[in-house]
Amino acid sequence: MSSGAALTPERVLAVIPARLASTRLPRKVLRELNGQPLLAWVVEAALRCPQVGSVVVAADSDEVAALCAARGWQCLMTSPELPSGSDRLFAVSRMMDAEIYVNIQADEPLLQPSQLEAMLAPFADPAVSVSTLKVRCPEESVADPNVVKVVTAADGRALYFSRATIPFNRDGQATTCWKHLGLYAYRKQALARFAALPPGRLEQIERLEQLRLLENGIDIHVAESSVDTIGVDTEEDLRRVSELLSRRRTGA
């Protein structure tokens, strides 16, 4: 497919790597959350995005595959030995053809279709090969190393991602700190190149794999989202998300 052609949903594949052997919160993708498995919230949000043609769960266990079969979700088995969600995404790209592959983390039950729409919009420009999202960083999270920050050029290209506070506001000027949301979309060629590259030095220092792209001169376009998310890694995260989903349902 030509990357210069108009982007249509049929050319967009959303992949949800669903790893059962999570360490901090065991079996989290199957944990019950407000009446259904955590994974269901993510899959259903992706399916509601009109810009996405197909959604597939990249499973590493029979239990996740069984849930997908019961719910009628498309599922592919990937090796449990794969070290990251990006590796699972690349494995799917070798089995299913698309022009754009969207990497959606399976532990983001607050995902909104509008976020995927914002992330896919930059691909109207054939020069864009990778995109991700940013949202205004809450003040209490600016210095938190568990919250990844991003700074961008005027045209939206990422300049750097860091766990540190960037930009460092030395003189107390009015500024906005941006939080990076860990959703990605790749053109097929960019995904293949990313998978072929060895981990970079900055990537290893910060423990942020997106830096591998920047270290090798591959631009990442950062679109803005008005909606934040919470990745579920702990029991406390699960409780917070449960409360937020309950409020969303009641309109509170």
Q: What was the pLDDT predicted at 24? A: 80
Alpha-carbon gap, residue 123 to 126, rounded angstroms? 6
What DSSP string runs through 153-204?
-TTSBEEEEESS-SS--TT------EEEEEEEEEEHHHHHHHHHSPPPHHHH
Q: What is the average pLDDT across 100-120?
A: 96
Q: What is the average pLDDT across 27-47?
A: 96
Q: What was the pLDDT predicted at 176? A: 93
CATH number 3.90.550.10 is the correct assignment for the domain at 10-108: yes
- pLDDT digit string, tens, across residues 2-31: 444 567 899 999 999 998 887 788 899 999
pLDDT at residue 208 greater than cutoff 60: yes
Q: Find the length of the chain.
A: 252
Alpha-carbon gap, residue 27 to 111, rounded angstroms? 19
- Answer for the pair 53, 8: CB distance below 8 angstroms, yes or no: yes
Which residues of the chain form CATH 3.90.550.10?
Answer: 10-108, 112-228
Q: What was the pLDDT predicted at 47? A: 97
Average pLDDT along the chain: 93
- pLDDT digit string, tens, across residues 64-95: 999 999 999 999 999 988 888 889 999 999 99
Q: What was the pLDDT predicted at 7? A: 77
Q: What was the pLDDT predicted at 83? A: 84
10 Å CB burial of residue 48 (0-12, 13-18, 19+) is middle
Q: What was the pLDDT predicted at 6? A: 65
Of the candidate ranges 22-31, 45-54, 102-111, 239-248, the one whose mean pLDDT is the lowest? 22-31
% of residues, the chain, pLDDT over 70: 97
- pLDDT digit string, tens, across residues 131-172: 999 999 999 999 999 999 999 999 999 999 999 999 999 898
CATH number 3.90.550.10 is the correct assignment for the domain at 112-228: yes
Query: Residue 249 is which amino acid?
Result: R
Q: What is the average pLDDT across 206-227?
A: 96
